[in-house]
Chain A
Amino acid sequence: MISRCLAGVLLGIPLAACTLALALHWMPNRGQDWLIPVLILFFPLWTTVMIASYMFRSGLRAWVVLGSSNIAVFALLWLSRHLAG
């Protein structure tokens, strides 16, 4: 329980943050016109990740799945910035 809780709390922050950054990046004008409504979604998104992490069968699974989602989103964000321009 504690392990799943920690996974959700710690990995939820970068996951939510990068998801939002990615969404903004793909919006017209880099999301400048929608910055505040999108940033507001940070806490609901983080909370959702924290709550959902209790659904995992074990703590290890939570760390692995959330960890790899983090890497995937971060990689996508990096690629969009550096390749797609």
Chain B
Amino acid sequence: MKSSTVRTYTTVHTWTGLIAGFGLFIAFFAGALTVFHHDIATWQSPPWRMTADADVTPDQLAQRLLQAHPDARKDFGIVLAPPGVARPPYAYWPEGGEERFATASAIDQPTEDATRGNLADFVYALHDSLGFPTVGMYFMGIVSILYGLALFSGLIIHLPHLVRDLFAMRSGKNLKRLWQDAHNVIGVLSLPFHLIFAMTGALLCLFAITFATLNVVAFDGKLFDAFGKAIATAPVIAPSGEAAPMLTLDELMQRARVQALKQGVTSFEPDYVHFSNYGDRKAVVEVRGLSQHTLGTYGTVAMNAVDGSVLETHVGKAQNTNGITNSAMYSLHFGSFGGRTVQWLYFVLGLMGAFLFYSGNLLWIESRRKRRMEDQPMKTRIMASATVGVCIGSCLGIAASFGATMLADVYGADAGLWQRVACYGFVIASAIYAWFRPLPRATRDLLWLNAVLYVALGAIDLVRNLQVWTQPWTPQASAVLGVDLTGIAMGIGFAFLARASWRRATQGDPNSVWSLDATTAPAT
């Protein structure tokens, strides 16, 4: 390849990486945790610590909803808590063109934000929109597109030396080369995984805009109709006008499970139920469930809600190409297709992805380093402060939101508010700290603070649940234990990073923004 071509793509790679890097770091770090969404939900509301409304059954919720909002019978859904989580189910229904959500006791004051206060959903919101609905989501969609460009251009640059350099880890005196090698090997080895994320990430975030654009540009306005048909999983049946008693939700879910298991899946765990024309003889119920060990993780069974006769099945081998692709897109993105093994794989790959963006910034800084001068250029100093403040700061922010959730639970405060205050507060404080304090010291301090916070949170929660560890073991107990131990392990990891960066500051090459000597020595 011509050297000018390589130069062009290096420029593309550098700029897309720099612009999107911070967003991607947060998306990957929070995303690695989001893989364990259910476990974090269990950590927050384990069955031995009941939250309000947690004992309301989905049937009772449906009754209360229809008493308070009779019009909702035409179209409403019930979102079930993950199995074993002491969290109330909540209802969803459209009213005046807007979405409404409420749990049983708040049925008269529905909200537009279904999951306020749920830590797992907050971490997820950080992952997909930095916690800012709509605006943040579009922002992350653009970040995903830049990420795709960075991937392609990185591959083009790296392609000529792919085989020769792939497993080279030159850990000699030249620290930059070691970082470069690590950046390359992680980038190339996890490439399939990154391709999936760049593609599905852009799609999930920018779906509405993309769809509207395609509809106008290339589909003559007919895309909405075609798409509706492609994703429909329940027949549209007009109400008969005759009232009839509905089967209970337990019964309907049981029938859906039986029907699903006939399609070759090994499990079917209902997580959402949707009714059309509840109370009518021709009412349709749609049960959505999660299956393990299949790429088509989400499947649905549509039934008549009066007699439970199956109308349509979209599970396992009964899925069509559209359904299986739709479902596979989610399971490939969230790593929900292969049980615990795949979850851990995604977790590790997610953290490695975060490293990829951190190391990318570091390489940019290092390659602009003036080896013979003590004074380093201002732009590298700015970039280095931002990298430390935002990246290490967002790890702190996430830990802080875990801590705030725990405190809010103990003091009965509004968890949703305190999660946000703690998370953004820590990120902003870190960024300010990294700006004003000499950078090597700021790096060390923030990494140590991370180490202390992660270990402390894990340890405090272990002590808090002390009586549970002596009881007979349940899957929920091991999920909570898993979250605590992972937190402690991450804390130990941060401690290692803190030590390494301090070693760099005191013993490494002196002419660098990372070196203590350069920043303390008077300029000559």
Contacts and interface: CB of A to CB of B under 8 A. Distances in A.
Nearest to A50: B149
A47 interface: yes
Contacts of A40: 199, 203, 325, 329
B11 interface: yes
A33 to B, nearest CB: 6
Contacts of B213: 13, 17
Contact of A44 (B199, B322, B326): B199
15 contacts: A14-B218, A18-B218, A30-B226, A32-B226, A32-B229, A33-B321, A34-B321, A36-B325, A40-B325, A42-B203, A43-B148, A43-B198, A44-B195, A47-B149, A55-B5
B149 A51 contact: yes
- Do most interface residues of chain B lie in helix, strand or loop, or is the interface mixed? helix
Q: Which of A20, A21, A39 has the most CB of B within 10 A?
A: A39
A51 B152 contact: yes
Given A34-B322, A40-B329, A43-B199, A14 B217 contact: yes
A48 interface: yes
A34 B217 CA distance: 19
A59 B198 CA distance: 27
A5 B8 CA distance: 11
B305 interface: no
Interface in A45-61: 46-48, 50-51, 54-55
Given A35-B226, A43-B199, A51 B153 contact: yes
9 smallest CB-CB distances across A and B, nearest first, come from A21-B218, A17-B218, A35-B230, A47-B148, A36-B322, A37-B325, A51-B152, A17-B217, A36-B325
A57 B412 CA distance: 65
Given A42-B214, A77-B218, A1 B321 contact: no
Contacts of B220: 81
Nearest to B327: A36
Contacts of B351: none
Contact of B326 (A21, A32, A36, A54): A36
Nearest to B201: A43
Contacts of B217: 13-14, 17-18
A42 B141 CA distance: 14
B299 to A, nearest CB: 15
B145 A42 contact: no
Nearest to A21: B218
B442 interface: no
Interface of B: 5, 8-9, 11-12, 145, 148-149, 152-153, 156, 195, 198-199, 202-203, 210, 213-214, 217-220, 226-227, 229-231, 320-322, 325-326, 329
Contacts of A39: 214, 227
B15 to A, nearest CB: 10
Contacts of B12: 5, 51, 54
A43 to B, nearest CB: 5
B202 to A, nearest CB: 5
B322 A37 contact: yes
A1 to B, nearest CB: 7
A47 B152 contact: yes
A17 B217 CA distance: 7
B8 A43 contact: no
A43 B202 contact: yes
A2 B229 CA distance: 41
Contacts of B202: 43
A32 B227 CA distance: 8
Given A18-B218, A32-B226, A44-B199, 11 more contacts: A1-B11, A33-B322, A36-B321, A36-B326, A37-B325, A40-B325, A44-B148, A44-B195, A47-B149, A47-B152, A81-B220
A15 to B, nearest CB: 10
Interface string A4-24: 010000000110011011000
Nearest to A33: B321
Given A17-B214, A21-B219, A55-B5, A43 B145 contact: yes
Contacts of B218: 14, 17-18, 20-21, 77
A64 B220 CA distance: 25
A21 B199 CA distance: 19
B227 A33 contact: no
Nearest to B231: A36
Nearest to A55: B5
A37 B322 CA distance: 7
Contacts of A48: 152
B145 A35 contact: no
Contacts of B156: 51
Contacts of A37: 321-322, 325
B148 A54 contact: no
